[in-house]
Chains A and B, each alone.
Chain A
Amino acid sequence: DQQVKQNSPSLSVQEGRISILNCDYTNSMFDYFLWYKKYPAEGPTFLISISSIKDKNEDGRFTVFLNKSAKHLSLHIVPSQPGDSAVYFCAAPFISGTYKYIFGTGTRLKVLA
């Protein structure tokens, strides 16, 4: 059972426009979510997170929105830049305090110059 789902394997966006990456989850006990960014031949790096007590967290051009009733979160990148082209993973702690995370399958974002 895939508890964290990213249903769009890829997304292409024009430079300067908004990129919206989506993630759905099934376990209502998840209380924290993270987004990672991964460039080719590198390890994933932490991008932004959100606690379930919030519905929005913003860091510069990156904003994550959480809709708990829909079990849905989204990552908005505004404005998109070519350097944002990467694979983005959403993740949630499998069990709080265990450091075990469940990752989505990833969305490959391509920002066109």
Chain B
Amino acid sequence: DAEITQSPRHKITETGRQVTLACHQTWNHNNMFWYRQDLGHGLRLIHYSYGVQDTNKGEVSDGYSVSRSNTEDLPLTLESAASSQTSVYFCANPGTYYGYTFGSGTRLTVV
């Protein structure tokens, strides 16, 4: 079955370090999205891509970057991790009728 997987599931890192969260999909879908979930804020869009070599900023993109070198992967990089980036991160493929299919998430803690 086609799926979307995220790794790692949990990550603890230190302030100032660069961190990359992986997202891999087997849907062969052009569109991939990254969200973060925080209490009191719901899910907020970080970056998204409509295809290879295409990347776009979402509403909370500061401090994050993405690259899209193939259809399957959209890694999310925190250039210099900050405590404010402690969150749960979700990668998603959009469908049509049912909105998104989400990955299982990565819980990131910045200490």
Contact = CB atoms under 8 A, between A and B. Distances in A.
Contacts, number: 52
Contacts of B58: 100
Nearest to B93: A99
B43 A103 contact: yes
Interface string A14-40: 000000000000000000001010000
B31 A99 contact: yes
Interface residues of B, number: 23
A70 interface: no
24 contacts: A9-B40, A42-B104, A42-B105, A43-B92, A43-B103, A43-B104, A43-B105, A44-B100, A49-B97, A49-B98, A49-B99, A89-B42, A89-B43, A91-B43, A99-B31, A99-B48, A100-B33, A100-B58, A101-B94, A101-B100, A103-B35, A104-B42, A105-B41, A106-B42
Given A44-B43, A44-B90, A100-B48, A34 B99 contact: yes
A105 B98 contact: no
Given A100-B33, A103-B42, A105-B41, 12 more contacts: A41-B104, A43-B90, A43-B105, A44-B100, A46-B99, A49-B97, A99-B94, A100-B45, A101-B100, A103-B35, A104-B42, A105-B42
B64 interface: no
Interface of A: 6, 9, 34, 36, 41-46, 49, 89, 91, 99-101, 103-106
Interface of B: 31, 33, 35, 40-45, 48, 58, 90, 92, 94, 97-105
A48 to B, nearest CB: 9
B97 to A, nearest CB: 7
A44 B93 CA distance: 12
A45 B42 contact: no
A89 B31 CA distance: 22
B8 to A, nearest CB: 13
